[in-house]
């Protein structure tokens, strides 16, 4: 009698477990049919992943949405000379004023006639700003601003006559190279062609290609 009761309890527990397993299998099958069956393509289930979602978004709609946009500012070359600390050709932002050009050249020298120039005037690409000495400011023929960027004949610097300071206004020519140019022409005579400047120590073909549009040779 005792063994019969124990057997019935064991059977009941085993049957209950089987019933739970069957119901679970039916539920999983139902869920698979409900979810998988609605996302089929030619009999194959489609797995929605992050890669698939991102591939469906047009590139043009995602680029630049969260990144800072850079703004490119046009640049101009301005020749600053006269009574400034460091005469030369400077690269400025488009829309810069004469004041910006003077600041780029190291500021005024004590002898500069600041009142003779319009510091608020805009400068253009290729222009030349000459800050006069106090004794020059009153001269009627003195021109402190040249919008055409005239730097010598036809806007070019004569490497046979230019001083060290004037040579330093050529982009890429510092004091050492400017002094070398002057020394070369004094020891070997004037240049007969602009290509001969490559005979100067420190000036090779790469630099020449950058400065050839700024130089000329006179008699």
Q: Give the span between the Cα atoms of 90 and 87, in whole angstroms.
A: 9
Model confidence pTM above 0.75: no
What CATH architecture does domain 75-216 belong to?
Orthogonal Bundle (1.10)
Encode pLDDT of 32-57 as tens digits: 655 555 444 444 443 333 444 344 44
Higher pLDDT pick, 22 / 162: 162
Place of tokens 């946009």: 69
Rg of the chain over all Cα atoms, to the nearest angstrom: 41
Residue 168, helix vs strand vs coil: coil
Task: Calculate ∠ Cα 142-146-149, nearest 5°.
Answer: 135
Tens-digit pLDDT profile for residues 110-147: 999 988 888 888 888 888 888 988 887 766 556 677 76
Q: In the chain, which residues fall in CATH 1.10.150.280?
A: 75-216
Cβ neighbours of 162 (radius 10 Å)? 24
């Amino acid at each position: 009698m005792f063994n019969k009761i124990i057997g019935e309890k064991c059977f009941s527990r085993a049957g209950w477990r089987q019933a739970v397993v069957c119901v679970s299998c039916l539920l999983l099958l139902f869920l698979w049919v409900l979810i998988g069956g609605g996302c089929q393509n030619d009999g194959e289930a489609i797995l929605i992943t992050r890669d698939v979602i991102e591939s469906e978004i047009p590139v043009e709609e995602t680029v630049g949405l969260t990144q800072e946009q850079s703004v490119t500012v046009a640049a101009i070359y301005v020749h600053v000379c006269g009574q400034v600390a460091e005469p030369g050709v400077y690269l400025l932002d488009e829309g810069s004023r004469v004041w910006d050009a003077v600041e780029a050249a190291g500021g005024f020298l004590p002898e500069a006639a600041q009142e003779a120039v319009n510091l608020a005037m805009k400068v253009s690409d290729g222009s030349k700003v000459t800050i006069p000495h106090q004794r020059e400011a009153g001269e009627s023929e003195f021109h402190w601003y040249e919008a055409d960027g005239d730097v010598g004949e036809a806007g070019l610097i004569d490497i046979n006559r230019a001083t060290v300071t004037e040579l330093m206004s050529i982009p890429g020519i510092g004091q050492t190279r400017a002094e070398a140019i002057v020394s070369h022409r004094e020891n070997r005579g004037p240049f007969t062609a602009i290509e001969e400047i490559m005979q100067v120590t420190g000036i090779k073909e790469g630099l020449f290609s950058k400065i050839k549009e700024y130089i000329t040779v006179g008699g």
